Amino acid sequence: MSVQSSHGHTHAKGPQSLRLTKGAKKVLEVLERTEELSSAQDIHVALRSEEESPPGLTTVYRSLESLVQFGLVQAVDFGDGERRYEMVKPGEHHHHLVCEKCRDSVHLDQCLVQQLEESIQAKYKFEVRGHILEIFGLCENCQNAMAATGKK
Amino acid sequence: MSVQSSHGHTHAKGPQSLRLTKGAKKVLEVLERTEELSSAQDIHVALRSEEESPPGLTTVYRSLESLVQFGLVQAVDFGDGERRYEMVKPGEHHHHLVCEKCRDSVHLDQCLVQQLEESIQAKYKFEVRGHILEIFGLCENCQNAMAATGKK
DNA sequence: TGGCAAATGAAAACCGTTTTCACTACTGAA
DNA sequence: TTCAGTAGTGAAAACGGTTTTCATTTGCCA
Ligand SMILES: [Mn+2]
Ligand SMILES: [Mn+2]
Ligand SMILES: [Zn+2]
Ligand SMILES: [Zn+2]
């Protein structure tokens, strides 16, 4: 990994070089060890409880913005008003199966949309640049739990 | 169409019967003749400019909520903070190709996700109940316009 | 070490949406 | 027809995540 501190070093890849600021570094640390998706506020809370002098919420937002732009982090939209973030393999992205009951999510290994880009291009003459895709439902556990107790 | 006034009539289909209120009727009228997606505020503005005594914004929101629940209207999420709405064939839904330049959108005729539900079920034991999917990029016109003038 | 641009954070602004609550219009029973 | 209970409505306030503002701090560099 060639991401470095703000002391002059920049990441080699990406559309534009990233200067990893102090705040962004801490944000990334939180995401690095977090399995689930985290909102900006989640991250802020986490930092507050473990850093002697935690970055402010504003800095968390700014850090996320640059990390996303840089391709190290992806923003995920569940359609509730709160964006969530998670680390991704640099430049990659993926989607989720989100359980509406327990809120746990399965990280899908392949993107359904990417493999359709050419056909969309061909059929609609539309140049695909991005997309959002998240699938909601019930995970196996919650299906069973539901079957055990009352329905619905 | 069996949707009727609130004077005792209800829609035959749908998970629950809808009593179409005065406000909801006006909202539906706007959506009926609108090709593009409309936000709640768009609808409110439209009504203000044409109704003698237009429903308040609150009523527009409430109407949309029941129309969506009823399956006559779908809510579309572009990931900017503003939900948009459009009429759909009762109980159906679809997704879009949204041009980032001119904001025009192509209404897709088939849902990529629905046809994958069984395989998701099988592979992940996940019961799909809903999803969001929107594709962003450049429509043919804007691609050409861009090619003509400077890039990007 | 002084100068400057970048980074930071507290507070305020933003903005779509939801809630509250008082009022009005309707419905259905008497 | 009356009237009371119920559903609908809307103005205003609250909400909540995010962005902006702007004054202050940090730290790189000459
Ligand atoms: Mn993920
Ligand atoms: Mn559409
Ligand atoms: Zn994808
Ligand atoms: Zn679909």
The CATH homologous superfamily to which domain B93-152 belongs is: Ferric-uptake regulator, C-terminal dimerisarion domain (3.30.1490.190)
Spell out which residues have Cβ within 5 A of ligand 1, the ion: A 86, 107
Task: For residue B24, give the nearest of B1, B47, B45, B42 by alpha carbon.
Answer: B47
Task: Write down the H helix ranges in chain B.
Answer: 22-32, 40-48, 57-70, 117-124, 140-148
Q: Which residues contact B62 (CB under 8 A, 6 or more apart)?
A: B23, B24
Mean pLDDT of A114-125: 95
Q: Do B135 and A113 touch (CB under 8 A)?
A: yes
pLDDT at B108 exceeding the cut of 50: yes
pLDDT of res. A71: 96
Range(s) within chain B of domains with CATH label 3.30.1490.190: 93-152
Contacts of A99 (CB under 8 A, 6+ apart): A105, A136, A137, A138, A139, A141, A142, B126
Residue reference for tokens 């209800």: B10
Counting one residue from A and one from B, how many pairs have CB atoms under 8 Å apart? Answer: 93
Q: What is the pLDDT of residue B20?
A: 87
CATH 1.10.10.10 in chain A is located at 1-90
Alpha carbon B7 to chain centroid distance?
A: 27
Fold of A1-90: Arc Repressor Mutant, subunit A (1.10.10)
The tens digit of pLDDT for each residue in A29-60 reads 999 999 999 999 999 999 999 999 999 999 99
Footprint of strand C on the protein (CB under 7 A): A 6, 19, 21-24, 53-56, 58-59, 62-63; B 6-8, 22, 39-41, 57-58, 61, 65, 81-83
Q: Do A133 and B133 touch (CB under 8 A)?
A: yes
Give the Å distance between the CA of A61 and the centre of ligand 4.
31
Q: State the distance from the centre of ligand 1 to the C-alpha of A94, rounded, in angstroms.
A: 6
d(CA A147, CA B15): 21
Q: What is the pLDDT of residues B17-72, one digit of tens each?
A: 667 899 999 999 999 999 999 999 999 999 999 999 999 999 999 999 999 999 99
Confidence of residue A12 (pLDDT cuts 50, 70, 90): very low
pLDDT in tens, A60-77: 999 999 999 999 999 999
